[in-house]
Structure 1
Amino acid sequence: MLRPGHFFGRLLASAVVVLAPLVALHGCTLYQQYERAEALAYRSVSNRAAEKAKDVQELLERGRSLLEVIAARADMASLDPQRCADALHGLATIDPLYANIGVVSADGTLICSAIPRPRDLPVVSLSDAPWFRGALEAHAPRLSPPMAGSVAQTMVSVLTVPLRDATGAQVGLVGLTLQLGLIAERQFAPGLPPGGSITLVDQRDTVVTRFPEPARWIGRATPRSVQDVRRDTPHGVVVVAGADGIVRAYSTADVGIHGLRVAAGVPTDYVFAAPRKDLLRGSLVAVGTLLLAAALALVFTRTLSRPLASLGRTAKAWASGARGTRADEQLPGEFRTLAREFNAMIDAREASESRLVESERRYAAMLDGVDLLAITVALDGRLMYANDALSRLTGWSTDELLSGDWTRLVLPADATDIFAGLRTTATREIPVPPRQDGSLLTRDGRRRRIRWANAPLRSASGELIGITSIGEDVTERHEAEVARQASARAEAANQAKTEFLAHMSHELRTPLNAVLGFSQLLQLEAGDHLGAPQRHQLDLIHLAGVQLRSLIDDVLDVSQIESGRLAITLENVSLPGLVDDVLKLSSPNAEAGQVQLGIQGPLPGVTLRTDPVRLRQVLLNLVSNGIKYNRPGGHVRIAARSLGDMLEIDVEDDGLGMSTEQLGQLFQPFNRLGRELGPVAGTGIGMTLSRQLVRLLGGELTVQSTPSRGTRVTVSMAGAIVRTTPAADSTPRESATQGAPGLPSGTVLYIEDNAANTLIVQELLAPWPGVRLLLAADGSSGIALARQHAPDLVLLDMRLPDMHGIEVLAALRTEPLTATIPVVSLSASAMPEEVDAARAAGATAYWTKPIDFGPFLKGVSSLLARRPAASPPR
């Protein structure tokens, strides 16, 4: 049998070697790492909610400012429809999220709107609309509940401000219609992780808008679980099941106006993935360590069993309340000493508790008269003391709090964290945090923000037995600070979004210019030097570039249509020539897909008054769909018929076809009708864009389809035919200018920092010996060459290494020698605001990259032809 001293030494050495350096240190480190990772995850959710709340606030504040500017105009109070319409003209295009802006008189009559109404429609009266009456009675800016918009044909809310006359009397309202679905897609979708959600909720707990699925949730009451997200936690985050049943970590942020708030939810699998992974890895190490320690301790179990059992029974009895229980001091060896020390500890503990009771009595008497909150919580979670100030704030009496469930003062998640923190403090002796912010719930359900100052409560022997906290109600101060921080974050996020949209078009089109430009040059120069396989490969390169450019154009077109900024240019165009262009451009795709293209029946020889670019774009998309969703050996046919001034164009195929359910979803943006995983690439916006373009052209697009039998798409355009000619005359002919004997001449200055773009223009102008090309790689050099040579034409890239193209335009227009030189902005950015800025700065035209050779050469030739005949090339 081992001697007690020898055994105890062995046990102590084992504990020091195994448990101390492995379990304790590793466990402490693991817990700290998990807490930091969890706090960072919570903070990211809170930051996301605050950022989106600021986005919404900025949007509403901009709208309110615009409406107040309109209402302040001296001529608006007269309610004259013509003057009102002139004042609102073009304002709906200021922001893509605005559907319309209008003025309504006090009796509910719509005076005018930024989007003109056809004159043959009856006068609109809003007098019976509840939102209108509420806005009129508010006498202040007001946001209506979600409703179906008659103009935007989607769910909208109307922001209104009063319209007053010179005497201050309210004569009507100025209103701004906001597209709620588009707000969700534009404001909430960017940066949101998969499965995440952003919900904008009003003070009635009604969903104003939500991403994803805004159309499904707008106007619906939020579930109880989402309403509870309003209650703060120590991290500002609560984990609940969302409206769609997905469990997420939610955080809310008040927008600050109109009683709105934003709830941001991120799936818990996404939020806690990293902390859980680290915790699992660390736990496995800890378990291994414990198993090793258990194996070593097993050797000594038999010699410890009886003395330890005796001491265990004593400890259990004392813990259950048997205060007279004492350990057996007749145990052998060191266990006898341990029993004596244990008894001494019990005696000291009982004396300490007696002194604590007296101390608490004096402490309570001192704190009952102050306004600050004071509580004492034992390490086992019992509320030992609460002063009268806490009772006055919460509405619960002191007796109710001390004798009942005091956790009614906090949110359930907060109560869980509090008890977990007490256990951690008691078992691991982690220092009590000196400062801590939290929330209290009053009896009537209100939530108050409290700033606590904490201090450990110790017994006379120095043992930690509880925590004493002094609290100050900082609800109003906290709300003001949160609003200020959210405002700053949202402002930064909005600026970043604006810069991204401005640069996206430029960054995508710049490399495309090289791909399309050089592929076209190779097609022109290769001739018969390439074999058929090489020519086919070259055609595929060019076709891929064209498809990518088309995709970029479609995305930007959808954005411009939704914001009301897409321009339509009407021209006279021959229908047979237009159809011929579509067939020629679609032939490579048809050959690759082994689909036959053709015209069904004779085309009417008519001339249309329309936008040929946009109509060609629609027909190309319809033919492309007929080819993509077809089969080898299938057909795509174009037919047309005229009925008076009405024209109908059919694009029919015998391909896959669509079911009734798919037809119902056909015009939903980015909906590929279940064919996302199929072999055909696409984005799902082509048909949406086509219908919107046709409607902008004054027509309508309808679809008929049968599964496995094919699809017929009809474009109907009323009033588009301006002239009917014989069929033979409808065939496209060569332009009379093509046979002109002279070639363009003059001096062209190209200011461009991209070597590939420069080379393409050099190659394009090389066949014109009378054209002299000057090159400059930055704005300063370009201005100097323009002053030195006074060229006949300047081609100007808008983003140069040393200055912006607007600055170059300003410098050229202020110089008498260069003020009248035509300057064409040749840029990869197609954003409307950049185009408008360039034209306002004096640009003669704005051409976007990638360069289309035909229109480019035609444009350069036209501009060079305008120079005075006596002016020799410089």
Structure 2
Amino acid sequence: MPRKIHIHTLPSLAGGMAVALRKTQQRTRNLAHLETQRLLRSQEESNSRLQQINATLQESEEKLAVTLNSIGDAVIATDAEGRVRILNPIAEQLTGWTMAEAAGHTIDEVFRIINQETRQPAVAPVMDTLAHGTVQGLANHTVLIARDGGECSIADSCAPIRDRDGRVTGAVLVFRNVTEEYAAQRSLRDSTALIQTILNTVVDGIITLQARGGIIETVNPATERMFGYAAAELIGQPFSSLIPELDRDQASGSLEYFRASDEARANGLGREVLGLRKGGQRFPLEIAVSEMWLGDQRYFTGILRDISTRKQAEAALLKAGALQNAIFNSANFSSIATDARGVIQIFNVGAERMLGYLAAEVMNKITPADISDPKEVIARAEALSQELGTPIAPGFDALVFKASRGIEDIYELTYIRKDGSRFPAVVSVTALRDPQEAIIGYLLIGTDNTARKRIEEERTLLDQALQDKNAELMSAKIAAEKANLAKSEFLSSMSHELRSPLNAILGFAQLMDSETPPPTAPQKMSIDQILHAGWYLLELINEILDLAVIESGKLSFSEEPVSLADIMLDCQAMIEPQGARRGLKMTFPRFDNPAFVRADRIRLKQVLINILSNAIKYNRPEGTVIVDCVTTTPGRIRINVRDTGHGLPPDKVRQLFQPFNRLGQEQGGEEGTGIGLVMSKLLVELMGGSIGVESMVGVGSRFWCELNSVAAPQFAEDKADVGALVKVPIRLDTPPRTLLYVEDNPANLSLVEQLIARRPDLRLLSAGNGGLGIELARERQPDVILMDINLPGISGIQALKVLREDPATAHIPVVAISANAMLGDIKKGLDAGFFRYLTKPINVTEFMATMDVALERATTTSRHT
């Protein structure tokens, strides 16, 4: 129910409310006052704390300012946009900006830097620090450009400024001027490089040693060269290994000896000692030692100088001084020295003896002209005036004029002795000069020329006698050359005269041997004897003539690269049948790689055939012959021929290469002349080789020849030779080919006719002289021409020239068939243009093979014309 308020209670209720209201207001005022008091106290406390903070901040700023002002490095602080906020005095000094001027400017405006080497602008590290919040640094060789253009090298670093939340609010750049530091470092590097260069280039050896024990620490290159050791071999070794005497006596022999006094302490005291090189050679050197301290370690530095050259020079100087003194005081030379005017100042013992004056009689009194023939002095002045184009007065000037102009002058004149006698002298004049090249005098050195004049007179007589003798020798030489020429002509004639009948003997014997029907057994025996004797006679003729040619020095060679493989095949084909008849087993080398020697092909084959023939002739029955080729030394190839014969004792081996010495085989069953090996030795040596033999009795012998090896030749085209014959099959269904044989000897012509008669594919024409042969060649156009050399009228060589010059016959192959079988004759014929050169007596097999090659050439030529 609602409360009922009685009317009579209202006044007292209102009064109570008023009292309560007043109390409330009072409490409110009290509370407000208390709050005000609290706030005032709080404000006072805040003001006090703020004042304290301001004071602390001010103190901190003052301390920061003091720090920035006192720090030795330049400092620049920026805000987060890279604008300058703080610039300390060092930074002001280096950049040229004041704090007031720089504040608010970007760092790039105040802090301008470039690369020292390229002079290109460099980027300040501030922006990288602001962007990444990392510490940054500048590269070396950075230059700061001040506001006024000044430059200095700097080193710097940049770090970020962060707030309490870690946000980057700016950057601080710290840098310093390192110009002097860099200069000092560069100076240090230069000094170090200079010292190292000096150590490396100085001619003296420099060694650093530990004071205790004398162990080597470092050496320079000169020390290495001086002692012959590498640095690695010396470091760590005792110094006494190089200077042994320094370790003999610790009191006076070691490096401590150089501590001569407390003041000097071994500085620069030099001493001569003996060094010991790596090879054990001792040599004089001079050593100077200095003491040094590195930290608390004591070291010695030794300077070593090789004085071998100086010692030699001193000895040479002493010797030269003694020599000069001996020369100057020699009684055999007159040494006269004058002043610049020519007055004698020195007159040595030789001059006194030679001229008869005492030195006191001429010194400071006369000139050398006064003791010379006056007429000769006048003549010399006139001759020099004409030669040099300037007037020269007679007298002393004429004697020294050339020397005064720096021209070497040695002349002859007559000296007059004190007693008036005269003698010829040779005088050498030298101008004496001071350090400024001014002439201060002259030196005249004279020798008595009397003996030389007498010798010259005698020499003139001897020269005349020698000339007379030379004339006699020249006459004798001419006579000898004529005799030698006559000998050569005789040899050539003898060769021709002997071979011509042999050609008929051997040629017809070969025809009879190959007749159809074949000869009877007795006939065959007789024919074999004829052929054997004929070929042996031809061999004797060849050997005797070749030996005579070699001894006369007329043998000509055609040295070229010769294939050993080809030579061996030729020799094998020629010699194996002979070995087979005796039941010998023969082995020849195989060549996997080309092997060539420098030799004359024909002569090399001759040597090998001779050696192989001996190996067969003097072998035992059923024996062996082994041929091999080996490289002995670089550039040399040796051909060995081993046999299983009876062998030879040493005394007979020494006689092997003596002419006509068959070592007692004259009564044996083997034929021979005893000159084959002599020929072989001469031929091999003429080809630049050597030949020898090793033999053992009961075992056999080994003959060898050694020649120079050469590279395989490069041929432009293959050229066939008689050793590589082309075999052309005979065709009976073709017209016969025509051969023209120009020959004046009926027997030779008959032989060739019978040979050609066996070839149905060939037809023979003949001419008895060169002129008729040329006419037939032009008229009948033969396929091949056979030409003798010695023809009536014109020779075969002259006929060949006519044929070659005529277009109608120039293409026809011409083969020489001649008894002129000397090597020079063969070479002359081939050089003249013969296609081939066959020698008489004719070898039928070789003849037929040569015809085949010539006919093939004729066929090839006709196809191309």
Shorter-chain TM-score range: 0.3 to 0.5
Report the TM-score, using the length of structure 2 for normalisation: 0.38
| Structure label with greater radius of gyration | 2
Structure showing greater relative contact order (alpha-carbon pairs closer than 8 Å, 6 or more residues apart): 1
